[in-house]
Structure 1
């Protein structure tokens, strides 16, 4: 499994590719990966972000609204 620093670098590379319009990326091992669509890039980013959050110990905050009738 990749380290936190490696995942953060992968995320930066994917974001740069996505916003520049690139569809081909070369990873740290020298392998070339071609994404077919922006949606596929977005899913890859989402997966990496989830893994970074898991490794960082960041949990999602869930808030529930409390309402009353005002009586």
Structure 2
């Protein structure tokens, strides 16, 4: 299965918000633990890297604030 940048964005938004449920590739998935969500992110990043091996790795940062 080929993932898209939108799939990665959805997973990263879920990680940043602390949500375990995410919708990507037309599917709604609820992960049991954050570690599973992080593993999904890594899988998607690896898949995207193989789709375009000449591109530079993309990095992102999440800023969380507690109110």
Give the TM-score of the pair, scaled to structure 1: 0.66
Detail structure 1 runs of 4+ shifted over 3 Å in the superposition: none
User: How far apart are the structure 1 equivalents of 2:45 and 2:8?
Assistant: 7
Q: Indicate the structure (1 or 2) with the bigger Cα radius of gyration.
A: 1
Equivalent residues in 2 for 1:43-58, closer than 5 Å: 43-58=39-54
1:41 matched to 2:34? The reply is no
For these two proteins, the number of residue pairs brought into alignment is: 55
Give the TM-score of the pair, scaled to structure 2: 0.69
The secondary structure found in structure 2 opposite 1:33 is strand
Query: Which residue of structure 1 lines up, in the alignment, with residue 15 of structure 2?
Result: 18
Unpaired runs of 5+ residues, structure 1, are 60-71
Unpaired runs of 5+ residues, structure 2, are 56-67
Root-mean-square deviation (Å): 1.9
